[in-house]
Structure 1
């Protein structure tokens, strides 16, 4: 075949689609002319025409392959029309030719459908594999960040213990120093963060899950944001939350939810409207956390990749969005970002525990 010879000559390199279409078209026309001079449609070797069609549907775009299929069918029909009609023998040959052309058309259509179906399945599988590769890359990046964070915590623990000893000695010698008391309070916060990190690490390592009450989770979010972002103007709205609904997750859930709200607060501080609206609600599907803030518009491709890829820091979304998305996905949840008329809307969904009271 012309195309196979050309591909072998090119050492299996894929040719230009238009060049492949021209080669296959010449092949179909040439084989049809050769068959027309040797029995026309009744020639049993017209099955050879199926080979270019298979190659076309495998290598060419669907529109080009469909055009080549139409060309092959028209060429077969022309051969039948050119057959002589007189004589009993010629009539039998004509009926045989009709049957041959009909079987060729049916076989061609079946091959086209089957090859297109396999093309569709392969494309879906390639898309799934691409998503898996992107998720694996993201998980590797998160693992590297987690390893660095664990090493940093380990390194900070030793000087923290030394500072604690110095503070205790200072309190024994200078009990009246107010600044020493304030420093001690701040250092207690550092120690508490280190203890929290150890608890989170233990939960992740042991795959230990907790049943969080939805109303208590919302209350904890408010307290954390009052401490971490006291300057932020956050308006809370809660709907249909009670102590009868639970979310099954580990200790990484609360930092992830806090991170996504902090991102919204930082974006709002750079805009004209500083207010951030946080709405929590429960439906039959699960628990929803919706965050609305004013911010700069983002390109569609950047908005679609939020939470799945690391983005430049000047866009305001980076590691925090990726960490939040990965954490929520671990608990069968979803995070979506939408931008509409100057407002960035972040929606977090988490399923409710089926064992709620």
Structure 2
């Protein structure tokens, strides 16, 4: 639920505490009217209403004192309670002739800040109905004999205009402030994520630089051992060291392209072929079901960081399947409306709801291999303008979708 529809109980508790002060003020006004000004009012009814309001408010205070979230409907009930109690107090205190009748605007103002627009309109109509009821239930003697009919109707029109001002201006300002707060929150989260990615990138660059010398030494030692001993194991070791050297070289090329911000068209056939080759090379023990819809006339406009990001997702899918004693994954694609949807499905145990929310935005500890790889892939795909979706399959496992725009190959 979005923040515009969910408020913390701290805000609601603050409203309840303010109502306690307002109840004390109501009691003070009633006592002054009874003993100081000696007005002729129904004081028993007024005191009973104030007592009932105090009991209800104390009950609400203890109810919301715990650590829980309050939804917008609960704010609606609060302001509706205020309108009801104010209307009852005013009814037993000369109705619309009471100068405190303008206090009915307070619940409207509170609703403008805390409630969505449809419920704000409901509260506004409720306050207008309350004022209208107080006006039309006035004694005819008060309306005609004292000749105050035009004055009371003018007060009612002023209240209507004031309520419209609150709805149109205060509600708009409150909505703009909420949007600004959401934007600031999003920018803060994005900044924290970018700082985390910069730290990861710096660490990776330092690690790659430090690995260059020992890797070159290992290659030389392997070549010398091959001269003295002929072994299949040495040959396999040399192949793996060569693969590490190639990865290190690819990392350097990638770094240079990132510095120059150079992008190029990558034909779909080339992209799919490279994915299949790398999967066969790195995960030869895994059964992969391909459903790749290639088009020789289309390409993705990207740089060299795209393929490592996709390979990270494939690796995570393989690890998730193996955690569930499965040796298979699915890689499929769909082309529609000049968009490529690349889908990678694993056959693992699936992901919890909280993990689905956190993956891609922060590093998540997981036995399935998710976390840092997904974070880096998500950041890379976002930088390239691709969309990233992650959800659980209806049968078993999790599904990653990468949606990229396609261009005609030139």
The TM-score normalised by the length of structure 2 is 0.71
Is structure 2 residue 185 aligned with structure 1 residue 130?
yes
Q: 2 CA distance for matches of 1:109 and 1:322?
A: 48
For 2:304, what is the secondary structure of its paired residue?
coil
Unaligned 5+ runs, structure 2: 1-10, 31-85
Quote the Cα distance in structure 2 between the aligned partners of 1:78 and 1:38: 10
Note closer, same or farther for the CA distance 1:38–1:271 as it changes in structure 2 (3 Å cut): closer
Match of 2:330 among 253, 273, 277: 277
Corresponding residue of 2:156: 101
2:214 is aligned, of 151, 159, 182, to 159
Aligned to 2:261: 207
Give 1:346's match in structure 2, choosing from 394, 397, 400. 400
1:109–1:83 CA distance, 2 compared to 1 (3 A): farther
User: Distance in 1 between the 2:346 and 2:176 partners?
Assistant: 41
* Mapping of residues 21-100 of structure 1, within 5 Å: 21-24=19-22, 49=103, 52-53=106-107, 56-57=110-111, 70=126, 74-75=130-131, 77-78=133-134, 81-82=137-138, 84-85=140-141, 90-91=146-147, 93-100=148-155
Contact 1:21 1:60 in 2 (8 A): no
TM-score (norm. length: structure 1): 0.80
Distance 1:230 1:87, change over 3 A: closer
> Matches of 1:304 and 1:256 in 2, distance apart?
19
What CA distance in whole angstroms lies between the structure 2 residues aligned with 1:157 and 1:316?
26
Deviations 1:113-159 (A, max 9, x none): 43233333332332232222222212211111111110011111122
SS of 1:266's equivalent?
Answer: helix
Tell me if structure 2 keeps the 8 A contact 1:73–1:105: no
Structure 2: how far apart are the matches of 1:88 and 1:19? 42
Structure 1 stretches lacking a partner, 5+ long: 1-12
Deviation of the 1:342 alpha carbon: 2.1
Calculate the aligned-residue CA RMSD, in Å: 3.7
What CA deviation, in whole Å up to 9, does each residue of 1:186-230 have, x standing for no partner? 322221111111001111121111210011101000001111111
Partner of 1:18: 16
Match of 2:385 in 1: 332
Q: How many angstroms apart in 2 are the aligned matches of 1:168 and 1:276?
A: 37
In 2, distance between residues paired with 1:147 and 1:169? 34
Give SS of 1:16's match: helix
Aligned residues: 340
